[in-house]
Structure 1
Amino acid sequence: MAEMMKAVTIVDVGKAELREYPKPVPGKHEVLVHMKACALCTVDQRAFLGVTKNHLPSVQGHEGSGIVEAVGEDVHFIHVGDHVVLEREFCGVCHYCKENINQCTGRAERRKEFEAAWKPGELAKPIGGFESQMAQYLTIQENKLTVVDPAIPFERAAVTEPVSCVIHGVNRSRLATGEVAVIIGAGIMGLLHVQIAKLKGATVIMSEPDAARREKALAAGADFVVDPTAEDLKTFVEAHSYGRGGADVVFSTVPHSSLFEQGMGVLARAGRIVAYSSQHPDVPVSVSIGQIHSREIEIIGTMGSNREETYLATQLIARGYINTDLVIDHVLPAERCQEAFEKATTPGTYRVVMQME
């Protein structure tokens, strides 16, 4: 009889429970990871709320950390007892993987294959090709793991993935020492942007209407905070941009298209705006091509992270350069998964992390 394990499972819209599944066995080049913690990302929350299409039942999760329990045949570089985080899934052979561009087409093809083979009633992996990390155990190829400092609590290590995504966006922005960055929104991603931008040596202005969140932004290292509903954002940014007439870089971290337009309006000449947040719903915005042309403005998209950025995120967390406590509101055992999802989907909540013991 197969050994069993438990996994947090979304069984219906707005309903999650702990279910039993066969414990996986590592194959050739694979590692068995005993997952210890998994954070509830916005992707997971949208699946729980039914905002995104998802086959049910589904085990979600891509912000996790754990410890290696066993290794399969021909595993040479990962060892039993290693503390690890899982990387994003990359095929490693398509044009984009070879160019180290975070647009793997092989992952998209695997998703299509899975969708075509899925049968009603079967356990479904989440949309997007992520590993299902809200499980006690999972198997993964050894080259898709990053070993982390065992001194890092598992709950903090679980935040590696969002930190790496922010690093990716900041890298794409080419933010430089001495530049002025405006960050729109002091949610979890906004607070992480503050910390990464400060490490780059930038002056950081946080635009956030909520007073408590503005205080969090200051605790994260923001130089200035502004309530855009009480003050004119453009005037404030111009007054704090040291003669630039605006921001060198704007990071839009809120899933509301109107705020992206607002960000466009505070850019300095030759400024760059980064569309960090996904949009639900994806409402088109008005963009002046003439302004892009004459002011040399750049619009930059960003999604996910690569292996280098995942590794750097683990290093920054281990060295204390990233304060993960600022972005974790609750840590709950997997048995309380329904409560965890309800807390995570409550407006104003930062990350909720589940302990997968």
Structure 2
Amino acid sequence: MKIEAAVARRQAEEFSVETLDIDDPRNDEVLVRISGVGVCHTDLAVRDGVLPIPLPAVLGHEGSGTVVAVGSNVTKVKVGDHVVLTFRSCGHCHSCDDDDPAYCQQFNELNFAGVRSDGSHSLRSEGEAVSGNFFGQSSFASYALAYEANIVKVDERAPLPILGPLGCGVQTGAGAVMRSLSCEQHSSILVLGAGTVGLSAVMAAVVQGCSHIIVSDPMEARRELALALGATHVVDPINADLGATVRNFLPHGVDYALDTTGNVAVLQSALSCMGHLGTLGLVGVPNKPGVTIPVDPLQLMSLGLTLKGIVEGDSDPDVFIPELVALFLNGKFPFDKLVQTYPLSEINRAVTDQARGICVKPVLIPAEQGEATHAV
């Protein structure tokens, strides 16, 4: 079958939109017609060689769409179902058995290998093998193959083309607050970075009933959006001392902080904002592997601080994604305010706009799904 796909051919170069061949679904696979797919930092990290997936490759791991074919062993979904695609997990390791699929012991092999589990490729360009199976989907395309483990049926009342980011970026930020940190009502939280993950955390903090929601970001437009989404205070870290500013709001420090930047200097600033028995959650991915955080053990001990690494918001997608959709439909989680849609053919423009702060979450719409909207 012929599909349209955005292909990463060489490190740090623009994507090329090409016609590829995709396999028919195997017994355990699901073929999805993609309605929309979010652009995430992880996609760009792979393109730029930070994560070693062989190129050429079709990336994309925030897809949403309609099931058009299922393998003979698939029982979870049927043709015509509306679905969100998320990360893949094995379903039978210790973590999966404990309903912690984000910590699946085969996570790297299933999501970053670029091939099926048996080593075969599902995508080709004029006979040339193209890496796919990215997060069990490779959804920078008009169609993608997925699996029961990483496909979630969703309410058909929700706007399908923009639901894809619920599978990663939105899920990560919201899950960090609602699942990983489990922020209590009336607690305080500092969110570092107001991109998709950080602003999703802000909306989740509103859902949780946090009394103080402080957002630090150097971009004025994103600070304004954070306030519109429910932040109680914002900080420009370029022109203000973060620790001193936060303690003007909360002299005893914050109960929780969530770093979405992966920046060592930002993390050190966050530690200066923590209150007694506070928890600092880490979801930001550093630009280079092997980065270390200088930590004062006496500070950790005297305040009883916890540093918590977080993957995908500790989400069980089959439970959490429908919960987020329900909150959205009830007007309590307006993640659509983060989204700007682009045609799939304009993926490079979308990436540039995101880097420049023109949009928060670009969502790519394949040509056959109709016209995308774009604000200049």
What's the TM-score once normalised by structure 1's chain length?
Answer: 0.89
Distance of 2:29 and 2:113 partners within structure 1: 23
Amino acid at match of 1:311: P
The counterpart of 1:133, out of the listed 139, 143, 162, is 139
Distance 2:43 2:356 in 1: 13
User: Structure 1 segments of 4 or more deviating over 6 A?
Assistant: none
Equivalent residue number for residue 240 of structure 1: 249
5+ residue gaps, structure 2: 122-126, 369-376
RMSD of aligned residue pairs (Cα, Å) = 2.6
- Given the superposition, is the C-alpha separation of residues 85 and 345 from structure 1 closer, same or farther in structure 2, using an over 3 Å criterion? same
- With 204-213 and 43-52 compared, the bigger mean Cα shift is at 43-52
Structure 1 position 320, deviation (Å):
2.9
Of 211, 215, 227, the residue aligned with 1:218 is 227
Q: Partners of 1:29 and 1:126 in 2: how far apart? A: 13
Q: What's the offset of the Cα at 1:43? A: 1.0
Tell me what 1:326 maps to. 337
Aligned to 2:8: 10
2:301 corresponds to 1:290: no
Match of 2:124 in 1: none
Aligned partner (choices 277, 281, 284) of residue 288 of structure 2: 281
Residue identity (%) = 26
Which of the residues 332, 348, 369 maps onto 1:338?
348
CA distance in 2, matches of 1:265, 1:51: 30
1:91 aligns with 2:90: yes
Question: Contact 2:32/2:66 (CA < 8 Å) preserved in 1?
Answer: yes
5 Å matches for 1:66-215? 66-101=65-100, 102-110=102-110, 114=115, 117=119, 121-125=128-132, 129-161=135-167, 162-170=169-177, 171-202=179-210, 203-215=212-224
Q: Partner of 2:365 in structure 1?
A: 355
CA positional deviation for 1:57: 1.0
Task: Tell me by how many angstroms 1:172 deviates.
Answer: 1.4
Structure 1 position 196, deviation (Å): 0.4
Matched residue type, 1:270: L
Partner of 2:189, secondary structure, is: strand
Give CA-to-partner distance per residue, 1:253-291, whole Å, 9 cap, x none.
Answer: 113111011000010111111112111125322101111
Instruction: Indicate if the aligned counterparts of 1:39 and 1:63 stay in contact, CA closer than 8 A.
Output: yes
Within 2, Cα distance between the matches of 1:348 and 1:184? 19
Q: What is the distance in 1 between the residues matched to 2:262 and 2:359?
A: 15
Whole-angstrom distance in 1 between the partners of 2:282 and 2:349: 31
Deviation of 1:73 after TM superposition, in Å, equals 2.4
* Whole-Å separation in 2 of the counterparts to 1:337 and 1:207: 28
Could you say what secondary structure the match of 2:323 adopts? helix
Aligned length: 351
Aligned to 1:287, the other structure's residue is in SS state coil
